[in-house]
Amino acid sequence: MENFDYLVGLISIVVGLGLAEVASGMNRLLRASGAKHDPLVFGPPILVALMLVSIWFDVWAVRRIPNLLSFPFFVVTFAQLMLLYLLAASCVPETAGETGTITSAEYEGNRPYFWRLFSLYELMYFGFWIFFMTKKGLSPLNLAERAFTPSGGALPLVVGIGLALTRNRLVQGLGLMLLIVWLFLGYWSYRIT
């Protein structure tokens, strides 16, 4: 078994658990017959499901970097994966009423926690992005130029912090759409081969 296989095993477990959480939350949303859920409540599970899928492509992209799996790196990776799992577990708020309807009040109650977790995850992601880009030989100037491109890691962090700080529903909806589109743009050309 190669070193990379250990990382893949850990990621497989956490991603599987995370996808189960997202599926369970979406199942609660879809099974509440006749319920009129707050439309914003559908954005976070879609975003988190895409994040869970995209991590496979991130891991595949770093598979050939030598001497990667030191204990500190593994611990930081584990911490980031735990944040991703917590995101998955919190992406659909609990309902307060017996109808199973998730209202804007429930979304708002869950919003600060979810977006703080998201921002923490993205801060770690951005740190990893800087680490791997410098290993590829990018200069600080090149890093700054690429940070806000779809393959960079800065924009989701900034948007996440903004969504944690604002209650504006229009900003929430636009931010969710931007992040989902950003994920598609950033990973569109990735291949696992």
Q: Give the residue-averaged pLDDT of 50-68.
A: 82
Distance CA 32, CA 133 (A): 45
The pLDDT value given to residue 98: 61
The pLDDT value given to residue 93: 87
Q: Give the residue-averaged pLDDT of 112-120.
A: 97
Pair of tokens at residue 71: 């204990």
More confident residue, 48 or 1: 48
State pTM to two decimals.
0.90
For residues 104 and 38, the answer to whether their CB atoms sit within 8 Å is yes
Place of tokens 């990379």: 4
Distance CA 131, CA 173 (A): 31
- Per residue in 153-163, pLDDT (tens digit) is 899 999 999 99
The pLDDT value given to residue 22: 94
- Per residue in 139-181, pLDDT (tens digit) is 888 888 888 888 788 999 999 999 999 999 999 999 999 999 9
Which of 62-66, 72-76, 131-135, 154-158 has the lowest average pLDDT? 62-66
- Per residue in 6-42, pLDDT (tens digit) is 778 888 898 999 999 999 989 888 887 666 888 999 9
